[in-house]
Amino acid sequence: MDQQLPETVREVEHELTALLRRGRALSWEIAREVHPNLEPNTYGLLLWLRRCGSVRLTELAARLGIGKGTLSRQIHGLETLGLVRRDPDPTDRRAAQLSLTEEGIRRFDAARAARLGPILRTLESWPKQDVADFARLLHRFNETF
């Protein structure tokens, strides 16, 4: 089967595999720096919460592509660590808005800044248009995959 794939598709698979491997390692490092008891798969969750500011659990589950039960368990763990809080949703009393606590923001930002240095240094050496194209193409791939 592998020989039937176009060479460019095999190259994309190879590069995606390398990117995902590095991404998992980076997520693991950042998660451990945020809190020693933090699971590495919660990095993406923290990143979305940092980006959104405040979001409903159902919306976050849809964005992350995970079940509400799984997300709820992860959120509970983050609440226990003092990194995430639930506030009443002003538009729906049955729902809650999730957000990072002040401590969660402080820890996440510090850990992320320390670990993103190599990525920033790499992208700084690229022409700005290449960085913009890279971001646009990654977004396009993720949106349509």
What tens digit of pLDDT does each residue of 15-51 get? 999 988 988 888 888 888 888 888 877 888 899 999 9
Beta bridge partners of 99: 85
Sheet holding 55-56, edge to edge: 55-56, 92-100, 84-89
What tens digit of pLDDT does each residue of 80-130 get? 999 999 998 888 888 889 999 999 999 999 988 887 888 899 999 999 999
DSSP state of 92: E
In contact, 53 and 82? CB cutoff 8 Å: no
DSSP state of 95: E
Classify domain 2-112 at the CATH topology level: Arc Repressor Mutant, subunit A (1.10.10)
d(CA 81, CA 75): 10
Domains of the chain by residue range: 2-112
The two three-digit tokens of residue 49, written as one number? 């919460």
What tens digit of pLDDT does each residue of 128-140 get? 999 999 999 999 9
d(CA 20, CA 43): 14
pLDDT of amino acid 97: 93
Q: Which parts of the chain fold into alpha helices (H)?
A: 7-34, 43-52, 57-64, 68-80, 102-115, 117-124, 128-144
